[in-house]
Amino acid sequence: MISILRKISGDRQLWVYTVLLLLFSFLIVYSASSNLVNVYEKNSPLFFGIKHFIHVSIGLVIMFVTHKLNPKYFSHLSRVMMPVIVLLLAFTLTRGITMGGANASRWIFIPGLGSIQPSTVAFVFLMMFSARFFGKTDLQQISFTESLKRYWFWVFAVTGLILPANLSTAVLIFSMVLIISIIAGYPFKNLFKVLGLALFGLVILILILKAFPNRFSNRLDTWQSRIESYFNDIKQDDNTVTIDDKNYQRTQAKIAIAKGGLIGFRPGKSVQKNFLPQSVSDFIYAIIIEEYSLLGGLLILFIYLLLGLRMFFIAKKAKNRYYQLLVLAVGFPIIVQALSNMAVAVGLFPVTGQPLPLLSSGGTAIWMSCFAIGVILSVSRDTEIREKENLEEFVTE
């Protein structure tokens, strides 16, 4: 163990916050997985706990190996991966498998790895590709047509292939791309053109979905129902209060949070985990509050904010523009996704289906989050090496 710790480099605080979240995930996933036992009518929480342990262990290995790489390699990797990602998403959209009733276009099965969610993989690599483009391109000199061919084509291809099956992820990815483009200094006049093209593409997609409602499991109705249910989650008729069936998840999450209060039910004592769908993923934050109280929920929020703060400091100290954008591009979405998940659980946002990074159950999500953290640690490690070399050079002189 000591020898392994000696081989760990990069920002120590980022390591600590990440490992703390991963360790805590064992407790909450093991507890909340009793819901899965009821759904599948087999296995036990121990089975899902062991499965989660394997996922986290692989994630830690991915993070360790990634943080040892030279960050310059991620630029080449993202460029090579973009065509692969587009092909993978196209295959998933047309040949995806069903996972426990989830939309059939979200998952594919790979022998040896099991079921993976390509949209999660695409998210990280597209953000890496964004850092490459914005960090190594003269944005004031490049024409809109050229940037459209070299960069925005890939953005539209990725988000367009994800959107029919997973609206929330497509919107989140496109939003993160826009934020990175603004931070990088991409001209606003060109950005408005991009938004115009995106709106035009969205209108075309909606028309296609209306023309072929059965082709994509009627996703348009799903989007509409989620938005409507957000604004009409509790209907009142005189003195009678009835709960809309579409809001079952949000209602159960609110009950869990209300039960947690300021004291909490204690670890493993959640009641709503037996009624709340996706209690180990999309609504795991509600179970955290129920078992560990409102203070426990605030502590988790605080750790994510500290995680984001360390990412900002690492980006600020990075040696060049590309490294700075790389840290923000792969790190900022983790924090936004976490805040989005929490906002859904407490009823501030409509249901989006976004997991809580590093805490929710799920192999692909954990692995890609750990990979993203590994990329950030790689930049941090590079900065430490350069600072040490400069110090040694100064001492020698």
> From CA 307, how far away is CA 380, in angstroms rounded?
14
- Name every residue whose Cβ is closer than 8 Å to that of residue 296 and which is 6 or more positions away in sequence: 260, 264, 288, 289
Q: How confident is the model over 235-289, as pLDDT tens digits?
A: 444 443 344 445 777 888 888 888 888 888 888 788 888 888 778 888 899 999 9
Planar angle of CA 220, 121, 202, nearest 5 degrees: 30
DSSP at 237: E
For residues 244 and 274, the answer to whether their CB atoms sit within 8 Å is no
Average pLDDT, whole number, for the chain? Answer: 84
Backbone angles phi, psi at 303, to 5 degrees: -65, -40
Q: State the DSSP H helix or E strand holding residue 129, giving kind and residue range, or none if neither.
A: helix 118-135
Collect the ranges in the chain with pLDDT lower than 70.
1-6, 35-43, 96-105, 111-114, 212-246, 391-397
> What is the structure's pLDDT at 30?
87
> From CA 84, how far away is CA 160, in angstroms rounded?
15
Write out 332-364 in H/E/C secondary structure. Answer: HHHHHHHHHHHHHHCCCCCCCCCCCCCCCCCHH
> What is the structure's pLDDT at 184?
93
The reported pTM is 0.89
For residues 20 and 56, the answer to whether their CB atoms sit within 8 Å is no
The one-letter amino acid at 267: P
> From CA 392, how far away is CA 397, in angstroms rounded?
9
- Give Cα separations from 365 to 104, 175, 355, 362 (angstroms): 18, 19, 8, 6
Q: Classify residue 220 as exposed, middle or buried by CB count within 10 Å of its CB (0-12, 13-18, 19+).
A: middle
> What is the structure's pLDDT at 98?
53
